[in-house]
Structure 1
Amino acid sequence: MPRVKRPVTLATVATSAGVSIATVSKVLNGRSDVSLATRRRVQDVLQKHGYVGRRTEPAERGSVELFYQGVVNSYSLEVIQGVVEAGQLAGVDVVLTTRPPRPHPQTSSTARAARWIQDLIASGRRAAIGISSELSDADLAALSRARLPFVVVDPANTPAPGVTSVGSTNFAGGMAATQHLLSLGHRRIAYLGGPATSGCAKARMSGFRSAMEAVGAAVPKEYVRLQDSRYDDGLAGGAILLDLPDPPTAIFAGTDEAALGVIEAARARGLRVPEDLSVVGFDDTQVARLASPPLTTVKQPLQDMGAVALRTALQLAAGEKVDSHHVELATSLVVRGSAAATS
């Protein structure tokens, strides 16, 4: 008689993966309190054995609200991908929405905030994550009353006490970008970034100023433009900088998209990049690699920032303590072809 193949059990999977049965169960149930390496090892063993668990009543996977302000761009897409991939590993759904709608003129911000939080809770959200979001005091108060964990990636302003955030070393990144231009012999360096209310933009500008002061390089008032950092802003701001009586030989833009706008403003004036003008961006999104010439930029680990935000939100939802209410991931300079030594 042919041998009957014995069914694979949790114990079999646990032994093969070198973990406990409880750990295998946590992975199957999408629990967040399992390290990424262990989770992947267990998932590999489950797939290898073709393990299929017993059918039970449909379990609520749980979901996390991910919202953003403004138009989705190359920056936010990178963060979104990091959040979504981390959600898949953790076994939770990520629901993407725009910023909570503005209140009706006859509706108070407190009432609007309460309605927003009620909708999140009714939808079974375990936590909320915002990308470059600026929440009102009413929003934060409603989140606190509902005990709904909230994590913001690259906060648009200085986070209120108790708000957990994930960002990058913006000051160090601003210094690295400027020091690179200084090492190429540039001294007439302009900064184009913002808006002025943005905490991360102010940190990048502070890094720029610090690097310039360290070598005694002057920063004329007209060399600093604090504005939004989209492509059109870079185009308009770059035009103003390049039309100055004594224009800069290099421009540090606060985002990759703004840097591309600066490059186009230079081309419209018959200037070559990097021969006549050096340009450095910030973020290292896909547009930096596709630019012509490829853009020298400061890399933010955007997908990692999204993943950390998701895991932190789930930790808070599980009632666990986090080591810090603000996490900064390291930036690094990526040298490509948009900056060259000054003649």
Structure 2
Amino acid sequence: MSTTNASRPTLEQVARAAGVSKATASKVLNHRPNISAETRRRVEEAIEQLGYVPSTGPRETTALRKVNVVFDTLVNVYSMQVLDGIVAAGHTHDVEVIVDVLDSAGGRPNGPLSPGWIRQLATQGRAGVIVVTSELTPDQRDQMRAAGLSVVVIDPLNPLDDEVVSVGSTNFTGGLQATKHLLGLGHRRIAYAGGPPVSGASRERLQGYLSALSDDGIAADPALVLEEGFTFLAGLEMATTLLGLPERPTAIFAGCDASALGVLEAARRHSLRVPEDLSVVGYDDTYSALSTAPPLTTVRQPIIDMGRVALRTLLQQSRGERPDSHHIQLATQLVIRESTAALSGS
């Protein structure tokens, strides 16, 4: 142990490299005010160059009772339901949940997932970080590991290595369920209005869609596959494009409920009735799926349970226990409501 400690860069070495006192280096590390921008820059550069990781010393049990959760945005129902699950699990396990939002970071140098933010969490003895539908880069992953922070990603936006624990739903199966439902109603021109192309969840749902078409002997039409985003506006834009085709789709499978709402709005603007003229399926079964007109047929993923499982798994890792699985997928279920119907004449 003494050899390991001796080989780690110290705060004194950081201060020496930056040409400041140890007290000044400590103030920068702990984000204290009244430090000039130039001094802060020199200290942060020295920290980066030396690979300094703050030593928090032996942690008390209570020091492991805070978890940071990073969202890309909170302005959607999906995020709020994930947070519901995390907070509920936090109450069960006596854990305080601290929320960070990338959208509101405003380009801050020590905003969520930045090196300074990660170092700060390490000094504060956090149990770890849950990242929700956001990109976790290899550098960020390595910095968290070096700082001793556990990490779990919910519906990761980018491919992760096998050592990063992720929580999601059976997205391929969900895509298969949605598309087979529409095929069973007689639809053949079925479009997919998906999330961003980098999203693993969206790509898996797309693969389920393509597999269902193939099983039914239908060749996928590239013009019917669009991938833009998991938002109302993205759904509106994709559906506007799809419904403007010379031969429009008779059904649209949207990659999430938010974009399905955009599809419904596009149908209204094209004077199309749902489901008489256009069938629509969403994905998530968020609260909003019941408030649409008509109520939305959708693939239910257990979003609240995903939040619960993510927190429970993070705490397992923080205790040094191996997680049950590095890629946890909870089962999906098709919920049939009133936004889908048999193709007219079929």
Query: TM-score per shorter chain, which class?
Result: 0.7 to 0.9
Partner of 1:242: 243
* TM-score when normalising by structure 1: 0.79
Which of 98, 101, 120 in structure 1 is aligned with 2:101?
98
Q: What is the identity, as a one-letter code, of the residue corresponding to 2:84? A: Q
Partner of 2:208: 207
Matched, 1:337 2:334: no
User: What is the percentage of aligned positions where both structures have the same residue?
Assistant: 48
Matched, 1:141 2:142: yes
State how far apart, in whole Å, the 1-side matches of 2:239 and 2:216 are. Answer: 25
State how far apart, in whole Å, the 1-side matches of 2:209 and 2:163 are. Answer: 29
Q: What is the identity, as a one-letter code, of the residue corresponding to 1:96? A: V
Contact 1:113 1:138 in 2 (8 A): no
CA displacement at 1:60 relative to structure 2: 5.1
Matched, 1:277 2:278: yes
Matched, 1:315 2:327: no
Matched, 1:89 2:92: yes
Q: Give the secondary structure class of the aligned counterpart of 2:274.
A: coil
Alignment of 1:126-205 (within 5 A): 126-205=127-206
CA displacement at 1:115 relative to structure 2: 1.2
State how far apart, in whole Å, the 1-side matches of 2:201 and 2:64 are. Answer: 34
Partner of 1:65: 68
Where does structure 1 lack aligned partners over 5 or more consecutive residues?
1-57
Partner of 1:16: none
Aligned in 2, Cα 1:247/1:59: closer, same or farther, shift over 3 Å? Answer: closer
Q: Give the secondary structure class of the aligned counterpart of 1:125.
A: coil
CA displacement at 1:254 relative to structure 2: 0.2
Contact 2:118 2:147 in 1 (8 A): yes
State how far apart, in whole Å, the 1-side matches of 2:240 and 2:202 are. Answer: 20
Partner of 2:26: none
Contact 1:78 1:302 in 2 (8 A): yes
Contact 1:143 1:149 in 2 (8 A): yes
* TM-score when normalising by structure 2: 0.78
Cα deviation digits, residues 140-181 of structure 1 (max 9, x gap): 111111121000111111112311110110000000000000
Report the number of matched residues.
Answer: 283
State how far apart, in whole Å, the 1-side matches of 2:62 and 2:183 are. Answer: 58
Partner of 1:114: 115
State how far apart, in whole Å, the 2-side matches of 1:249 and 1:70 are. Answer: 32
CA displacement at 1:315 relative to structure 2: 0.5
Matched, 1:76 2:63: no
Alignment of 1:214-253 (within 5 A): 214-253=215-254
Q: What is the identity, as a one-letter code, of the residue corresponding to 1:135? A: L
Partner of 2:54: none
State how far apart, in whole Å, the 1-side matches of 2:98 and 2:261 are. Answer: 31
CA displacement at 1:108 relative to structure 2: 11
Q: Give the secondary structure class of the aligned counterpart of 1:195.
A: coil
Q: What is the identity, as a one-letter code, of the residue corresponding to 2:229? A: D
Q: What is the identity, as a one-letter code, of the residue corresponding to 2:312? A: R
Cα deviation digits, residues 265-312 of structure 1 (max 9, x gap): 011111100000000000000110111100000001000000000000
CA displacement at 1:103 relative to structure 2: 6.3
